[in-house]
A and B are shown apart, each in its own frame.
Chain A
Amino acid sequence: MTETGARILLLVSVISPAAGALVLGRDRVQARQSALATTLFSLVLCGLVIAAYPPGAKDFARVELPWNWLSGPTEGPTSPSDASGGISLALALDGLSLWLYGLTALLGVVGVLVSWEAIQEEAARFYRCWLLLETGMLGVFLAQDILLFYVFFEFTLVPLFVLIGVWGSAQRQYAAIKFFLFTLAGSVLTFLGLLAVVLWVYQQTDRLTFSIPVLTDYLQNLHGGDRMPLGLQLVIFWALFAGFAIKVPLFPLHTWLPLAHVEAPAAGSVVLAGVLLKVGGYGFLRFNIPMLPEATAVSMPYLLVLSVAGIIYGALVALAQTDIKRLIAYSSISHLGFCMMGIFALNRAGGQGGVLQMLNHGLSTGALFALVGMMYERYHTRQMADLGGLARRLPWLAFFMVLASLASIGLPGLNGFVGEFLSLWGMFHRAWAAAPEPWTALYRILSILAVSGVVLGAWYMLWMVERVFFGPLREPGHRAAGEGDNLASGEEQPVDRPGHRASDAPLYESAGLEDGPGGWRGPGRSGGPDGSGGPGEVQDLCWREILALAPLGVLMVWIGLYPKFFLDRIVPTAEELLAPAARLANGGEGLSPTPSALSGRKDICRQEPIFPLPGRLENLSLAKLVSLGEGIKEDRRVDH
């Protein structure tokens, strides 16, 4: 396929969900069918674009709408280098956005399938929000213009706000508003930081441009000119940090996440974990690290501390959870800590590990949230204490749950392993081979602590699987009503939470939205609303649910067995984005590098020594893992 074709497909794949939202059917069945068709259409286009992407391409399939937000219509598409300035509505792909773009389109379909029966109330509005959200998320990853990025970034908040607030569970309003305000509070500071970048370049060049590639090139000194002073870089870095770290979320800023996840409808959780949290990491890689390399190098130790703190903290809190969804939410914090640790290790292995881990987390955690949603549809509880031995009753659900859990733990052969391993490798390399002087001890301690996150991860996930899926069969329906009530309103639950059992169905059905858990009506429970349907009628996954989970499972195994296909496309871009900061971090000459060390970076960064790891890392596969030890040894030789 030619690049022109890819351009058209790219544009259509972004616009089609929003267009689909406008022509959605009115009743539930029509709405979900057309939503499915729209998201599938978008996914197919997205797959074609990804297939056409040549590894290493930058600005692939760049489309620029023929008007400029500041000055009106322009003469047609321009290349990024001669972009005339102003705010251009440009979209393009590179190695960093490629997989996130694909992941978004995929989870768009998964979300519709997950909501197929679960959303009963006002389904047309649900799918309308869903499709708008998808356009927003696709746009975030593709935007080539700072302001366009910010617009999409903010735009994703509104539909998700409505999704959580209308179709969530008991505390949904509070969760929706907290989610919105937390994100907005961070993103306004990010906005200031981005504007400061634009205006600094404007002061230097008399050219007001918002184009991300142009600004990045300028700030990396590719065209000469002064470096941005370190003080200003640090101010801007931490302003950007505010928004992106809340989005990731990094450790002290994570408090909105568990609440939003627990209260969101299943599809909302899927997309929140799968895509929206990735915007944070994406922002760091797109803006902070390439645009402000000195500040990144200086801030690296603090960021690594926060990442590792998140790994440990998230894992420990997850261990203490009784609610499955909440457990997975905290595990997200831990896994994204790995992501950020890999990225901030500022070397090749860490960078690819971090980016790949973003994709992995989207797949496995997305699948886990979808599965929890399916369990909730069947049992109206997410409490581990209420459930047990489900593997016998629901073999398919158990199969996918075990698969996704193992993937998220990082079992070799599944995707989580590759991502976590590369991230850890990057961190270890940073700590033992390339640590700048005053930080060596800290880095080494951090790298060892991070490993404990893997162990803890296996602990809480496997424990959860063991309690819920194995052992004697235990289902909420087996209990006496009073007992079930006590359990259902156990700890961490709001007081007004209705007992989510089938026998309560008439209660919240008659009371409407305010009492019932959003639009949740259990279709899996085929018994009547009066509770006559016994637990024996709980059905295993139907074809639709299996269809929703299968692509995720296939990708988990694929990435686990043959990550090269994915890494090949990530590596060149990740390397280019990380190179300036990596060089500074490796430079070892104190923490305030002189501008002279930075000039002509583009030529230098192509040379191997900036990434002193063996160059073959992207070929990592199971077969190659055996020789990893040698690689590290060789690598240390190169370094000294």
Chain B
Amino acid sequence: MLTTETLWFLAPEVILVLTGVVLYLRGAFGRAEQSSPPANFPSDSADKLRSGAEPLCSSGPFSALQPPGAAKPFGAPADSPAEGPPSDLGSVQIALVGVVLAGWMLARIGLPAEPAGGLILDCLGLYLRWLSLAVMALLVLVGSSAASRHQGSEYLGTLLLLGAGLMTAAVADNLVLLFLALELVSIPTYILLCLGRSDAANYEAAAKYFFLSLLASALVLYGMSFLYGASGSLDLRDIRARLAALPLQEAYWGGWVKIGIVFLLAGLGFKIAAVPFHFYAPDVYQGTTYPNAAVLAAAPKIAGFTALVRVLVEAIPMMDGYTLSWRVVMALGILTMTLGNLTALWQEHLRRLLAYSSIGQAGYILAALTVGLGGADVSSREDGLAAVLLYLAVYALAAIGAFSVLEGLRRTGRPVETLDDLAGLSRHRPWAAAGLAVFMFSLAGVPPLAGFWGKWAVVLGAIKTSLSPSASPAQRVWFMMLAVLTMLNAAVAAAYYLRVAGAAYFRPPTQAHEAARTVGPWIAAVICGLVCVGVGLMPWPLWEAAGQAGEPLVGFLQPPGGSASKADDLADGQLRIFPDASAWGATPEASGFSTKPAASPGLARSAASAFLPTASAHSPGGLSVSLQPERN
């Protein structure tokens, strides 16, 4: 369990929470002179619901009603063009300082040698924490334009709480902590959605998300209870050891574990917007604001995939012949990417289109996870997991970038909402158009942008499994199909990404675009754009970081009886495509395939070690000392 001694390792999260509290206090006391008192959400919305007018949106069960006299088109913001009070720069500064402090703490903690009870402080956790923190910094910048409306400091404070949840999920070692972390992501999301705008569409979105997310959380909890019931433990690795110790003949743990896995997948599928559980996403994205859509596109996905990787890989032993996980995940992945991409083709509303796009992208990540769970050998699975991590990063980057560009644009004082609103963008704001195009092409996977390397890693892993001599016939066929479907989906997806880019470049201009008055989204867009292009041209730092982050899971990718050492894999001729710590060593087989990094301590090494501060200092064996699966 978590002890006070190990609480130190959660310092970055604590800093984020404290900063969030400071922001709340600032909102409560420091801003009394400022404008309109914050609307009291529940009673306010209840008023609106009571006051009754024609139904606005019949697409969901929570169709909201429009306040009388405000005949605005669906999705149009209720804010006046003047956007309320001027930008609340102080809150943004406080939030950014908090994020930077957390980053500083995280860099100091790094990969501690001593075991921390209740936490898994491995490369994977570190990678995900850095990713979450980077995403959080970008989201604060994007949200800074929301901070210019009322309740800015509350908005940013909530955002930081969400960040703390994300980072905790990355290191959670048992089911309870994992669930708490997921809730720490979900609950702030509800608040953010309510703080977004004050019109009916927004409250509908918030209510829809709230109820469905509650259901999903309940499903996750229910699934976890089955895992606990079957194994008698809450600790992830303990569960694994106990399950592995059960006699296999009990039809894989008597079916209870399977039920647990399915419930977990359903609940987490909601968070990542996988297809049968995706229905909320388009409505919610459309109903809310761009900063909130950016949060929804990035944060729950990172949390969901973190939890999926932790539970499916670390808690469920991969016995020989156990295929449930990868089959279900593959089915989810294929469904998700196909449906998401096909539906996106017909969208006109930008946030709705990007919502379907984010569904499609989740499908690709699920495809990578399929390889991670069902690859032919340990090295393939490791590559698959590394592809999940790589893809998460490049996806989050491009998605946040796209939302921040759109947030930064105004047209006659209103946000751009539909494809038509983008017409002539390249004339009025060539740089915004260029940025949007970069993000769209990156999401579409056009080289040489970051998104290409994500798709590349996914497909490479799938084909590798399909061609592997140790793959079963079913694996050969299914993984080849997965690769083909992934690429065909990429081609389909290019169609709607092109529509967005085409609208910005080809459609004749009608009205001029203005820039929003806040500069935050533009800073975020510039950062995302530069990193997108930079990672596209120089992918190796991220590539190596993702490869290393997958490294500690190697012990969990084979039946618990097997050895967890890398040397055995090398002896079997199983080589990874992603670089890892041992490939950096002097193993003769390893030095042949990737590079001779020992002799080139240049940019890659330093960049990777900046990302994973202590990884390069570790010997390959030392890393797994605290990670032995059979701890008890």
> A residues engaging B (CB < 8 A)?
67-75, 84-86, 147, 150-151, 154-155, 157-158, 161-162, 165-166, 172-173, 176-177, 180-181, 184-185, 188-189, 191-192, 195-196, 199-200, 202-203, 206-209, 232, 512-514
Contacts and interface: CB of A to CB of B under 8 A. Distances in A.
26 contacts: A67-B540, A71-B544, A71-B579, A72-B540, A72-B602, A73-B602, A73-B603, A73-B604, A75-B596, A75-B600, A85-B595, A172-B506, A173-B502, A181-B491, A185-B491, A192-B487, A195-B460, A195-B483, A202-B464, A202-B575, A203-B467, A203-B469, A206-B573, A206-B593, A232-B467, A512-B508
B487 A189 contact: yes
Nearest to B606: A72
B559 interface: no
B160 interface: no
Nearest to B494: A184
Interface stretch (B81-89, B257-265, B441-449, B622-630): B441-449
B511 interface: no
A191 B483 CA distance: 10
A111 to B, nearest CB: 20
Contacts of A161: 498
B79 interface: no
Given A73-B602, A84-B592, A180 B494 contact: yes
B456 to A, nearest CB: 8
B577 interface: yes
A133 to B, nearest CB: 14
Contact of B490 (A86, A180, A188): A188
A200 B467 contact: yes
Given A155-B448, A181-B495, A196 B508 contact: no
Contact of A208 (B469, B494, B499, B593): B593
A72 B464 contact: no
Contact of B506 (A74, A84, A85, A165): A165
Contact of A85 (B447, B495, B538, B594): B594
B592 A85 contact: yes
A207 to B, nearest CB: 5
Given A85-B595, A86-B594, A512-B509, 5 more contacts: A86-B595, A172-B506, A176-B506, A189-B487, A206-B575
B447 A150 contact: yes
Contacts of A151: 447-448, 452
Nearest to A208: B593
A157 B491 CA distance: 13
B467 A71 contact: no
Contact of A191 (B459, B469, B508): B459
Given A72-B597, A206-B593, A166 B541 contact: no
A173 B495 CA distance: 12
Interface string B564-608: 000000000101010100000000010011111101101111010
Contacts of A199: 460, 463-464, 467
Contact of A196 (B467, B499, B540, B594): B467
For the complex of A and B, the 5 pairs showing the least CB-CB separation, nearest first, are A72-B604, A71-B595, A514-B508, A188-B487, A151-B447
B459 A75 contact: no
B596 A84 contact: yes
Contacts, number: 145
Given A184-B491, A202-B464, A71 B604 contact: yes
Contacts of B456: 147
A206 B587 CA distance: 13
B483 to A, nearest CB: 6
Contacts of A192: 459, 463, 483-484, 487
B468 A206 contact: no
B539 interface: yes
A73 B467 CA distance: 30
B251 to A, nearest CB: 34
Given A203-B468, A203-B469, A189 B448 contact: no
Contacts of B579: 70-71
A387 B575 CA distance: 67
A513 B506 CA distance: 9
A195 B448 contact: no
A206 B483 CA distance: 21
Contacts of A188: 487-488, 490-491
A161 B463 CA distance: 30
Given A185-B491, A206-B575, A165 B505 contact: yes
B305 interface: no
A379 B539 CA distance: 51
A206 B589 contact: yes
Contacts of A172: 506
Contact of A176 (B483, B502, B593): B502
Contacts of A191: 459, 487
A188 B491 CA distance: 7
Contacts of B577: 202, 208
A253 to B, nearest CB: 14
Quick one: which of A157, A176, A184 has the most chain B CB within 10 A? A184
Contacts of B508: 512-514
Given A173-B502, A199-B463, A72 B488 contact: no
B386 to A, nearest CB: 12
Given A70-B579, A75-B599, A181-B491, A195 B459 contact: yes
Interface in B433-464: 441, 446-448, 452, 456, 459-460, 463-464
Contacts of B509: 512
B270 interface: no
A191 B486 CA distance: 12
B588 to A, nearest CB: 11
B522 interface: no
Contacts of B24: none
A73 B469 CA distance: 33
A315 B483 CA distance: 38
Quick one: which of B456, B459, B468, B594 has the most chain A CB within 10 A? B594
Contact of A72 (B490, B495, B595): B595
A154 B460 CA distance: 18
Contacts of B459: 191-192, 195
A173 B423 CA distance: 13
A362 to B, nearest CB: 25
A73 B15 CA distance: 37
